[in-house]
Amino acid sequence: MTHSVAVPIVRVDPRHPDPALLAPAAAALRAGELVGFPTETVYGLGASALDERAAARIFAAKRRPSHHPLIVHVLDAARAQELASEWPVLAQTLSAAFWPGPLTLVVPKREHVPDLVTAGLPSVALRAPAHPVARALLSAAGIPIAAPSANRYQSVSPTTAGHVERSLGLDALAWLIDGGPTTVGIESTVVDLTGERPVLLRPGGLEASAIEAITGPLARVESVEEDRARASPGLAARHYSPDASVELVERASLTVRARMGVGRVGVILRGGGELDGIDHLLELPEDPREYARLLYAALHTLDELGCARILIERLPDTPDWAALRDRLSRAATPG
């Protein structure tokens, strides 16, 4: 029997990460290797954003098609500008207002950003993460870090180091940094600043209304040209999906739907409640931020419990639930 060498998992204090613990992972990044690390949104699969071969390892590890661009993580707006050929006034305003935090800005790229990182696009997606561990790693590495969510292509993003291990495996990683569960729980909001009007490409951890208080109404992706939308794979109809099939169902219909179909059934409620005949019943909070923090862990859990079907109570139709409605509609199985 053969045993693979265990990937070092480094446990760090999420609030006060010890730089000495992160130094080997930072060196691995500089050497072109992959490192799993926490951000405030979800765990990232990091590689040097300036090294095309390192970026190629990300695509291979995720089994992600190479036409899907990566988000590049930087410490701040000054570092971001080193990667941008233009820095629009709105990039300045929005980064000043919301960085570090769960906001990604798409701006024209400089030539030295490898084409593979941006999937051949003339633009690059930039984000300064707020998580102290991500920031300490960026400081120690001294390079921008390209990092998609650390999961297999199209599956649910990881919000714990355990999810990374389960969804991606450890074989491709030089290091996995465990900074505990992430606090935002869904991916960053992505805003495209390359056109005349800013476009909300992906709703996410930063509420669109907070951005619109500064920019005025953002264009929605439904209303932009198809090629611009296609450039943003987070918009793919099926994405963020667990292994189980997912259905969005009104509370009143949950019991009936659960009895239809075969296999173990998991149900995710919003708020408390009793339901009969459900194999696994999970309750998520009624506050959208708290719901977001816990949603992916709930999906990972129901997958691990072997559910063939997951029924999720429909979410309210209000703006504060928009990012979660977006994720669940993409997690849901078409048809």
Binding site for ligand TXA (CB under 6 A): 39, 41-42, 44, 69-71, 102, 104, 106, 118, 121, 123-125, 127, 147-149, 187-188, 190, 192, 201-202, 231-234
Pick out residues in 132-171 that bind Mg ion (CB under 5 A): 149
Residue type (1 letter), 305: L
Partner whose binding site includes residue 104, from Mg ion, ligand TXA, none (CB under 5 to 8 Å by kind): ligand TXA
Contacts with Mg ion, 281-300, as mask; x by CB under 5 A: --------------------
Residue 41 near Mg ion by CB under 5 A = no
Partner whose binding site includes residue 44, from ligand TXA, Mg ion, none (CB under 5 to 8 Å by kind): ligand TXA
CB of 164 to ligand TXA, least distance (A): 11
* Dist. CA 33–CA 46, nearest whole Å: 8
Residue 249 · residue 257 · CB < 8 Å = yes
Partner whose binding site includes residue 42, from ligand TXA, Mg ion, none (CB under 5 to 8 Å by kind): ligand TXA
Evaluated on CA atoms 39, 296, 287, 334, the torsion sign reads: positive
Name which of 190 and 328 has its Cβ closer to ligand TXA: 190
Residue 183 near Mg ion by CB under 5 A = no
102-147-303-278 Cα dihedral, nearest 10 degrees: 10
- Burial of residue 195, with CB atoms counted within 10 A of its CB: 0-12 exposed, 13-18 middle, 19 or more buried: middle
Name which of 70 and 269 has its Cβ closer to Mg ion: 70
* Dist. CA 178–CA 151, nearest whole Å: 15
Residue type (1 letter), 144: P
CB of 116 to ligand TXA, least distance (A): 12
Name which of 64 and 293 has its Cβ closer to Mg ion: 64
What are the strands, taking DSSP E only, across the chain? 9-11, 35-38, 43-48, 71-73, 103-108, 123-127, 145-146, 175-178, 189-192, 199-202, 219-220, 245-249, 265-270, 280-284, 309-313
Name which of 81 and 157 has its Cβ closer to Mg ion: 157
Partner whose binding site includes residue 69, from Mg ion, ligand TXA, none (CB under 5 to 8 Å by kind): ligand TXA
Q: Which residues bind Mg ion (CB under 5 A)?
A: 149
